[in-house]
Structure 1
Amino acid sequence: MTFSAGPQDKLAELAPIGARKSLAEEAADQLRDFILLERLAPGEPIRERDLADALGISRTPLREALRLLEIEGLVEYSPTRRPFVADPDLDTLAQNLSVLGALEGLAGEQACANATDAQIREIGSICRQMIERSDLDDPLTFFRRDMAFHETIVTASGNRPLAETQRQYNARLWRARFISSQRQPDRPRTLYQHEEVFKALERRDARACRQALRTHLSTTVENIAKTRSEQEHEAQKK
């Protein structure tokens, strides 16, 4: 098993300023990218010694990192406590996405009432960058713009308990949303839906914003189902 460093985060300007991350948190960030890019494939056993060597850390912070990813639902453990990459079925993803859609819809509704003009301009800027750089950004950068768009709306709602709950569900669906965002045939629809969300927010139309976000989240399940079907078809051809 060999690993190379993931792409550097080109969206540092979107990251919140905070305390320096611990070694375990930095390792969790790298492992999250490995999982998103399938350097660690769904269902694959995680060999702690190999990973620790690849990341240049001891197994203690690695195990702490794996526990963080277990909380997020990206890593699971066998009955013998051996870690492996989570591979939730489509029904589980659909159920979680329905909850996330309700949460983000509520956030959009409340953002229409509570967002400052500056926050709305920031959301519009991210939306515009996604459209203008859709064919230029690497997969992780495009995905991070996508997540920044959603996270900024949730923050603009001004509802801290809602933001905390959304982060918990979003962490469980990080890889699913990444897969959905990478489907090139569906990219125009994704960008159009983001525009619809922003236009509703700009008008401060709470009902339209809520519905646009829920519709947008519901298409994630469709995109994942298409991807899995295509993967199964390719596997049968081999």
Structure 2
Amino acid sequence: MKQNKYDDSGFFENYSQMPRSIGGLNAAGEWESFRAMLPELRNKKVLDLGCGFGWHCRYAREQHAHSVVGVDLSENMLERAREMTNDSQIEYRRFAIEDIDFKAEEFDVVISSLALHYVEDFITVCQKVHHCLVPGGAFVLSVEHPVFTAVAAQDWHYGQKGERLHWPVDDYHYEGSRQARFLENDVVKYHRTVATHLNALIETGFSITKLSEPKPSQEMKENNPDMQDEFRRPIFLMIAAVKN
């Protein structure tokens, strides 16, 4: 069963109050690193899997992409995206990521930001992305880092005084679902190792061009002392690949 927590009114309200939901890409700590991995978008046909509020779709058009299709399972997300978009070259469609069925070589670039760790069948998504990309087309994705998803609690191990002692990593090689807590709700995420991510792409006909495990920028570190702890373990895994 495809997960669609964002059409739960309470969950969606909480999500809408997050800094990245209000401030967009510049309020997302990983955006600078993700943007650096994107290819040239001018005149490209772009697909965004798990488009949410459409921030990446609108960014692609700002970079003079020819057209953009944003896909999301949540009607709440798509409704908000349409409200925020005034561009006939951006189209939003309601699909589960696993159910996309585009024509062969329909897109030049496929992106997905922090959505694929909610998808159980990653290799099928890779196959479908490969099918709809032109030869040499780019697939750029970000997920929660496997170090972050391995333990369902997704929290630090604390000392007696509440100090953060370390980030626990356990059951790393036991892949599959994890019931995590996010925005005061239980959500299902799917843990996969770094190797599984890379091998799924390679086996479906991609070449890996870049990996990133971004850390906070110096500016973020200076503006928020709590960011120091974000240097102790990775939160995000980003992968750029091209279709062979």
Q: Which has the higher strand share?
A: 2
TM range (shorter): under 0.3
Question: Normalised by the size of structure 1, how large is the TM-score?
Answer: 0.26
Compare the two structures and name the one with the higher helix fraction: 1
